[in-house]
Amino acid sequence: MRFVDLDLGGSLQAYEPTWAHQRAVHSAVADGLETDTVLLVEHLSVYTAGRRTARTDRPTDATPVIDVDRGGRITWHGPGQLVGYPIVRLAEPVDVVGYVRALEQALIDVCAGLGLAAGRVEGRSGVWFAADPGGRRPARKVAAIGVRVARGVTMHGFALNVCPDLTAFDRIVPCGIADAGVTSLSVELGREVSIADVVPLVRTQLSTALRPLLAAGRAARAGADAAQDNAAAISLPQT
Residues 6+ apart with CB under 8 A from 201: 109, 110, 113, 114
3-state secondary structure of 149: strand
Domain boundaries, given as residue ranges, for the chain: 2-234
pTM of the model: 0.88
- Catalytically annotated residue among 143, 175, 206, 214: 175
In tens, the pLDDT along 173-214 reads 665 555 668 999 999 999 999 999 999 999 999 999 999 999
Could you read off the pLDDT of 7-58 as tens digits, one per residue? 998 999 999 999 999 999 999 999 999 999 999 999 999 999 988 888 888 8
pLDDT at 109 over 90: yes
Give which of 87, 90, 31 is closest to 211, Cα–Cα: 90
Q: Which fold has domain 2-234?
A: BirA Bifunctional Protein; domain 2 (3.30.930)
| 46-49 sheet: strands from edge to edge | 66-67, 46-49, 74-77
Q: Where does the pLDDT of residue 169 fall: very low under 50, low under 70, confident under 90, or very high at 90 and above?
A: confident
Other Cβ atoms closer than 10 A to 14? 11
Task: Tell me how long the chain is.
Answer: 239
Q: Is 187 helix (H, G, I), strand (E, B) or coil?
A: helix
Residue 144 has pLDDT above 80, yes or no: yes
String of DSSP letters for 153-164: EEEEEEEEESS-
163 is catalytic: no
